[in-house]
Structure 1
Amino acid sequence: MRSIWVYLGLLNQKLNFSDAMMKDNSLVVAKVSSLNEGWSLKLGLDSEKLGKEGFYIKTIDGSVLVTANTDIGLLYGVFRLLQSIQAGHDLKDFQMLDTPTVDLRMLNHWDNLDRTVERGYAGFSLWNWQKLPEYIDQRYIDYARANASIGINGTSLTNVNANALVLTPMYLEKAAALANVFRKYGIKVYLTARFSAPMEIGGLETADPLNADVQNWWIQKTREIYKWIPDFGGFLVKANSEGQPGPRNYGRTHVDGANMLAKAVEPYGGVVIWRAFVYSEEDETDRAKQAYSEFVPYDGKFMDNVLVQVKNDPIDFQPREPFHPMFGAMPETPLMMEFQITQEYLGFSSHLVFLPKLFEEVLQSDTYVQGKGSTVAKVVDGSLHDKSISGMAGVSNIGNDLNWTGHPFAQANWFGFGRLAWNPEAKASDIAEEWIKLTYSQNQELIDLLKPMLLDSREAVVNYMNPLGLHHLFDTGHHYGSGPWVNNPGRPDWNPTYYHNADANGIGFDRTTTGSNALEQYSKELAETFGNLRTCPEEYLLWFHHLPWDYTLNNGNTLWDGLALKYQEGVEQVSEMIATWENARNIIADNQYKEVKMLLDIQLKEAKWWRDASLLYFQTFSGKELPDGVPKPKKDLEYYKSLKFPFAPGIRPQWD
């Protein structure tokens, strides 16, 4: 396949697909409109099925044809062909037609202008704002190619906790330089809009979205942005959440704020992505209910170019939560999925956690809003409610580390997000096997070792961090390590004690009709399932119920014994991962082995820390001994409480 590597050279240069047809009995790459009559007849394809981004690969008379309606479709097709070759697929009778089912497939970078990255664990930001626009780092090009290879077509450059300076001419020129790099790879640039920007950089006395001067300021600012970036994608907005300014500061609604910005970008084909991650310290109801309560009443009132971006779960990217009840509850509004690829609550970049298993679990959850089979995936891709626009975002785990993501296996999460954003029905098991083949080798022995390790890794972290539906037990601020005793932050819902409610009587958050009744936000079928102890899946047990320590689990263990044994199971699963990696030692390069081995050793140490610290604390309420099989901690509770991490990476910056 000599011509494939010639074509790779073309990818590195100018992407002039109109002249890219090559025939040497190896590879033909051309748009459908450029195919001659002979190739068209052999192809036998209705080109409308390909849309703007789809591609078709087929072996015809010994040659491999890659065709699409557009340049970007050809690019996606060639990347997929190369991946298929690397994965060992036989091209003799090869055929693949693939089109994305989600329109906007986007990375959200929580990067700050000083190059720190909020919840970033792979070094500093890729974007060197000081050297832009003149200096174009090769990694910007590599970043674009990597994202194009998995179908990512949008990137938001800066933190949702936004800095208004990114909208000033100095930074727009820099963003335009990045957009010029990304454009040829089909990637649009989006910017985070700080709602108070008209005051901070515009000299106005208000940011009220119904004020005519404010509306005009955003119209003029948007016009300026499109002069710099003609294909600018639009604005991503975090408003009235965690202290960020927003329309509610002025007695207005999320609809007022989103639609003001939507009108500004509408003439240019832009969109507004309005995040639904809102919760107020003045609202004493269950935090899990607040986003639903604020947004669902406004269903159908947002403009057509507004997507409401919803986190996959009701609280905050925990190792496991039920899916967010907003999915399925707003049939008149496009809801954009927000996953977190960076491992804020899953061990940072020290822990091996294969997140496509989490993503798949959420996407395949059934909302029942139109009967059985109304999955979250069908809400997200727009098919359930016949939406004309759809989207999926992933909070990036990318930094300037040599391996991009801090942990070599964290690259699988970036890769897997891209695959699921392209097709939310994709299977985590298929993604795992493909990534192993593309990253390490086609060696079946290695695949048989690593694939189960990947697929089981997410359950391991749930077990040693937040078993049986426990959630948000993380030490406050940095979210590094166990801190179920923390109860001193100013607002209740920043305290782990708010979520586990441990006392002498038991543990868990009652979200049934006797508690916060968060169940009412789900469909009748799910409310009945989750609300009934006989049918509630045990992985969500303490998420929905406060239960006594001697409650009997399905396996006959008491809740206390079962909780302790789950923590121990998580530790043992990490030990098994280390043994698996040891068995792979002779199949991979020595440097590959050593790097991951050191990280797995950290993970085992920290899994034991989670187990011991958590059980020592909960034991003060249960008053019970640890069951057989769970070792007695070597340190006491006061030791774990004394641990401080003021310089843990990824901590949210504080602004005046």
Structure 2
Amino acid sequence: MTKAVSFIFLLFISPFALHAQTGYDLWLQYDKIENESVKEEYTEQLNNLVLYGSGPTIEVAVSEFKNAYKGFFEGDLPKALSIQKNSLVIGTRENLPSYVLPSLNSDFANINSEGYIIKKIFIGNTPATVITANTEEGLLYGTFRLIREIQLRNNIQEIALSDSPKIQIRVLNHWDNLDRTVERGYAGFSIWDWHHLPELIKPEYVDYARANASIGINGTVLTNVNASSVVLTSQYIEKVKALADVFRPYGIKVYLTARFSSPIEAGDLETADPLDPEVKQWWKDKADEIYAEIPDFGGFLVKANSEGQPGPNNYGRSHVDGANMLAEAVAPHDGIVMWRAFVYSEHDPEDRAKQAYTEFVPFDGQFHDNVLVQVKNGPIDFQPREPFHPMFGAMPNTPLMMEFQITQEYLGFSSHLVYLPKMFEETLDEDTFVQGEGSTVAEVIDGSLANKKLTGMAGVANIGTAKNWTEHPFGQANWYGFGRLAWDPYLDSEEIAEEWLQMTFTNEEEFVNEMTDLLMKSREAVVNYMTPLGLHHIMDTGHHYGPGPWVDDLGRPEWNPVYYHKADSIGVGFDRTTSGSDALAQYADPIAEKYESIETTPEKYLLWFHHVPWDYQMENGHTLWYNLAAKYQEGVEDVEEMVETWNNMEEYVDDQRFEKTQMLLQIQLKEAKWWRNAVLLYFQQFSEMELPEFIPEPEHDLEYYQALEFPYAPGISPTWH
């Protein structure tokens, strides 16, 4: 298939219209606007299309708007050769006629290379709406923004919008294996059909790119961080090239995970020592090979010396040695290296929450300019709630890249409705005090605190072969919300929820209001029925499905839930103050001083930082035991309220998505009760206190819950994260 024919195929064989009501079309639903007066208001402002410039990205932008226009208004947007009354004018700054620019020059001063301008202007006495940008990618983002404005039924009569991403590298991390299994994936198999690539280009690849471009995601890491060297072979580089060719018109670069031992496994060397000249040359040659096929290849993501993965420490070298070696290999091609800070060792007796800080902070400022150190939002591992990672407040001279998890590894998988942008926002808003009060995590990762030249945010994807991409219909909101916050980490998660609901379901006010409230409360509900008051990592072993606070027989101490809750006859919780592991010393003084005392530690982090007596009297006058039980019961009641709210939404939702969500909510309610009963029965052995009267009699005894096994729970791979 020639490149031209292939591009036409990609552009016009999108199956969105064939999958109505399955959720396949995500938030890109261009349904007919039924209200005639609303329709007339829009079509009056968009009489025809005038296009300046050409190119693959401009073509997909124009095609997208034409498809949206046809869906909204059931007619074609006429194309004109010159600007007329109420034309829609699309073109980059370079391609627009000179007589259009005077009305836009001041706006261009406010956008960067990926930013856009959407503005109603007058050219003489002729009104026109202009979408423009410095680059074709910006033009594409602006086009999707105008479509969104129509989806949200916003007034475009006097539209004047300009926006730019605040973060440069906005990527999805796919933990997809080459055999199409997905580690911590709960929506089917990998969408990458490696066996049939490069010849078979599936329409899903195009729609994946469209969805990501619509929210400003500009990169995708195709493979699991527990990497395989096979993907770096010539056979697979050809397959990766095919995907890169699909994604390029949508402004999306491809990245690969690099297994550190690849010079041995995919080459013929006897070592992978990053300071060995032959190893350095091997990686440079490999980079040259990749870039010869994929000139805009983004670079490498690396997990090294963590959970058994090979790395520079194997050779007595540091993370700086490993990251800088790879950075030198891709630097001539403007590539980057994203080096994960998720490291801990069974040979290190130090509190696991401290180990990444200990390994990385001493090297602040020593990484090459094209290295981003990728740090999880919290110091343990994507828990329902964690304090922010202390590294965000301790490496002012190193670009730190945020890593959020969109897939719900520790939050009920795709069975539970959990709106994660609320959690993302909570982390981004935290004050690190790195430059005094008001130095938020968001300001660290967008580079504004220290004028960083390279910035990034990654989200571990929740995408699979499920018809609706994410299995749970509301799992799509987490993909959407991640993209919006990666574009602008200062956005309000409630406004994002409202947007997504209107674009995905309906603009009906009652539905949007009720469901926004449900979404905003959903994450706290999960925290309550899983890990309230700072409890963490008490999920069952391996698959992380359901409660397992009793697990104590795993080969590594920090894989056992008992390591984290430390329940005994006195109390429960991990002491991270000066009397314990002193992990608090890794935070700025105002935080450390506040959290050192039980009395001044926020209750949401209480058991994260303190071992608290069961009979400790909390602020409300009740004991810790009473409050712990109350939180678990509150979580169950929260889900009961979610069920009731959703049942009242039936008139606004198609049957298929309504019924599926209804059934999933029943699973969530059942499992919330399971969590409450199992965990309270387990901890009761230590507290030796009666369950408060508001806790219903558990359906089973503790032995029943401890005996449950789930050998085929989804998302398990031979290696863990």
Report if TM-score (shorter chain) is over 0.5. Answer: yes
Give the counterpart letter for 2:414 in structure 1.
S
The change in CA–CA distance for 1:4 and 1:589 in structure 2 (over 3 A counts) is farther
**Structure 1 13/44 Cα, relative in aligned 2: closer, same or farther at 3 Å?**
closer
Counterpart for residue 329 of structure 2: 264
* 2:51–2:89 contact (8 Å) kept in structure 1: no
Other-structure match for 1:47: 108
Structure 1 residues 406 and 556: alpha-carbon distance in aligned structure 2, compared to 1, 3 A threshold: same
Structure 1 residue 5: Cα displacement:
11
1:28 aligns with 2:89: yes
The structural deviation recorded for 1:46 is 4.3
Equivalent position of 1:613 in the other structure: 678
Is the partner of 1:327 in helix, strand or coil? Answer: helix
2:348 — aligned with what? 283
- Structure 1 residues 34, 199: closer, same or farther in 2, change over 3 A? same
What pairs with 1:510-525 in structure 2 (closer than 5 Å)? Answer: 510-525=575-590
Q: Which amino acid aligns with 2:321?
A: D
Q: CA deviation at 1:321?
A: 0.6
1:628 aligns with 2:693: yes
Give the structure 1 partner of residue 478 of structure 2: 413
**SS of equivalent residue, structure 2 residue 463:** coil
- Secondary structure, counterpart of 1:534 in structure 2: helix
1:525–1:445: structure 2 CA closer, same or farther, 3 Å change rule?
Answer: same
Correspondence for 1:187: 252
Q: Give 1:27 deviation, angstroms.
A: 1.1
Helix, strand or coil for the counterpart of 2:129? strand
Q: State the partner residue of 2:183.
A: 118
Q: What 5-or-longer segments of structure 2 have no aligned partner? A: 1-41, 63-78
* CA offset digits 1:118-149 (Å, max 9, x no partner): 00000000000000000000000000010000
Gaps of 5+ in 1: none
What does 1:183-222 align with in structure 2 at a 5 Å threshold?
183-222=248-287
Residue 15 (structure 1) aligns with: 57
Cα deviation 1:61-91 (Å, max 9, x = unaligned):
5432111011000000000110111011011
> How far apart, in 2, do the equivalents of 1:95 and 1:265 lie?
40
Q: Which amino acid counterpart does residue 106 of structure 2 have in structure 1?
A: L
Say which SS state the counterpart of residue 337 (structure 2) adopts. strand
What is the CA–CA distance in structure 2 between the aligned matches of 1:19 and 1:515, rounded to whole Å? 57
For each residue in 1:603-622, what CA deviation from the matched residue of structure 2 results, as whole angstroms up to 9, or x when unmatched?
A: 00000001001001001111
Q: How many residues align?
A: 655
For residue 612 of structure 2, give the secondary structure of its aligned residue in structure 1: coil
Counterpart of 1:640 in structure 2 is 705
Q: Is 1:83 matched up with 2:148?
A: yes
Could you say if the C-alpha distance between residues 654 and 341 of structure 1 is closer, same or farther in structure 2, counting changes exceeding 3 Å? closer
Distance 2:461 2:52 in 1: 28
Q: Offset of 1:628 from its aligned partner?
A: 2.0
Following the alignment from structure 1 to structure 2, what is the Cα–Cα distance between the partners of residues 264 and 143? 30
1:373 to 431, 435, 438: 438
Q: In structure 2, what is the equivalent of residue 334 of structure 1?
A: 399
| Separation (CA, whole Å) in 1 of partners of 2:676 and 2:52 | 53
Deviation at 1:640, TM superposition (A): 0.5
In 2, Cα distance between the equivalents of 1:522 and 1:11? 52
- Identity among equivalent positions (%) equals 62
Post-superposition shift, 1:13? 10
Query: Would you say 1:427 and 2:492 are equivalent positions?
Result: yes
Give the direction of change, closer, same or farther, for the CA distance of 1:8–1:338 in structure 2 (3 Å limit): farther
- Hey, what does 2:3 align to over in structure 1? none
Q: Residues 185, 616 of structure 1: CA spacing in aligned structure 2 closer, same or farther, 3 A cutoff?
A: same
Moved more, 341-350 or 12-21: 12-21
The change in CA–CA distance for 1:41 and 1:133 in structure 2 (over 3 A counts) is same
- Cα distance in structure 2, aligned partners of 1:568 and 1:10: 61
Question: What does the per-residue CA deviation read over 1:225-269, in whole Å, with 9 as the maximum and x for residues that have no partner?
Answer: 101111010010000000000000010000110011000000000
For 2:47 and 2:344, locate their aligned partners in 1 and report how far apart those are by CA, in whole Å.
52
Using the size of structure 1 for normalisation, the TM-score is 0.97
Give the whole-Å Cα distance in 2 for the aligned partners of 1:470 and 1:31.
52
**Separation of aligned partners in 1, 2:50 and 2:561:** 51
* Distance in 2, Cα, partners of 1:4 & 1:470: 55
Match of 1:37 in 2: 98
| AA partner of residue 249 (structure 2) | K
Separation in structure 2 between the aligned mates of residue 180 and residue 4 of structure 1, nearest angstrom: 32
1:343 partnered with 2:385? no
Residue 290 of structure 2 aligns to a residue whose secondary structure is helix
Q: 2:520 aligns with which of 455, 467, 477?
A: 455
Residue matched to 2:121: 60
Q: Call closer, same or farther: CA 1:160–1:18 in 2, change over 3 Å.
A: closer
Cα distance 1:18–1:284, how it changes in 2: closer, same or farther (>3 A)? closer
Which residue of the other structure, out of 450, 457, 460, is the alignment partner of 1:385? 450
Equivalent position SS for 1:206: coil
Whether the aligned pair in 2 keeps the contact of 1:120 and 1:398 (CA below 8 Å) is yes
Distance 1:111 1:7, change over 3 A: farther
Sort the Cα spacing of 1:563 and 1:8 in 2 relative to 1 into closer, same or farther, 3 A.
farther
| Cα distance in structure 2, aligned partners of 1:8 and 1:534 | 65
Q: 1:312 aligns with which of 371, 377, 381?
A: 377
Matches within 5 A, 1:546-561: 546-561=611-626
Tell me: CA distance 1:183–1:293, structure 2 relative to 1, closer, same or farther (3 Å). Answer: same
TM-aligned CA deviation for residue 632 of structure 1: 1.5
Q: Verify the 8 A CA contact 2:48 2:87 in the aligned structure 1.
A: no
Q: Aligned in 2, Cα 1:650/1:507: closer, same or farther, shift over 3 Å?
A: same
8 Å contact kept, 1:18–1:30: no
Contact 1:124 1:399 survives alignment (8 Å) = yes
Alpha carbons of structure 1 residues 591 and 5: separation in structure 2 relative to 1, 3 Å: farther
Amino acid at match of 2:286: K
Amino acid at match of 2:182: V
Query: Does 2:663 align with 1:598?
Result: yes
After TM superposition, give the deviation of residue 189 of structure 1 in Å: 0.4
Give CA deviations for 1:368-422 in whole Å, capped at 9, x if unaligned: 1111110000000011111001000000000010000111101000000000000
Residue 707 of structure 2 aligns with an amino acid whose one-letter code is S
Deviation at 1:38, TM superposition (A): 3.1
Match status 1:324 vs 2:389: yes
Counterparts of 2:60 and 2:692 in 1: how far apart (Å)?
Answer: 69
How far is the alpha carbon of 1:453 from its aligned partner? 0.1
2:634 to 569, 585, 589: 569
In the alignment, the residues of structure 1 paired with residue 583 and residue 281 of structure 2 have an alpha-carbon distance, to the nearest angstrom, of: 41
Amino acid of the residue matched to residue 32 of structure 1?
R
Partner of 1:300: 365
Distance 1:403 1:5 in 2: 34
Partner of 2:308: 243
Flag the 1:570–1:536 CA change in 2: closer, same or farther, 3 A: same
Distance 1:319 1:605 in 2: 18
SS of the counterpart of 2:418? coil
Contact in 2 for aligned 1:17/1:30 (Cα 8 Å)? no
Q: State the match for 2:169 in structure 1.
A: 104
The separation in 2 between residues aligned to 1:279 and 1:215, in whole angstroms, is: 26
**TM-superposed deviation, 1:162:** 0.1
Confirm or deny: 8 A CA contact 2:274 2:325 kept in the other structure: yes
Kindly provide the amino acid, as one letter, of the partner of residue 535 in structure 1: T
Q: Is 1:397 aligned with 2:465?
A: no
Q: Shift of the alpha carbon at 1:17? A: 5.7
Deviations 1:576-595 (A, max 9, x none): 00011011111222222111
Question: Which residue number corresponds to residue 541 of structure 1?
Answer: 606
Is the contact between residue 18 and residue 31 of structure 1 (CA under 8 Å) also seen in structure 2? no
User: Which of residues 202, 207, 212 in structure 2 aligns to 1:137?
Assistant: 202
| Whole-angstrom distance in 2 between the partners of 1:272 and 1:596 | 40
Instruction: Write out aligned runs for 1:125-164 (5 A).
Output: 125-164=190-229
Provide closer, same or farther for how the CA distance between residues 320 and 4 of structure 1 changes in structure 2, counting only shifts above 3 A.
Answer: farther
2:389 and 2:61 map into 1 onto residues whose CA distance is 48
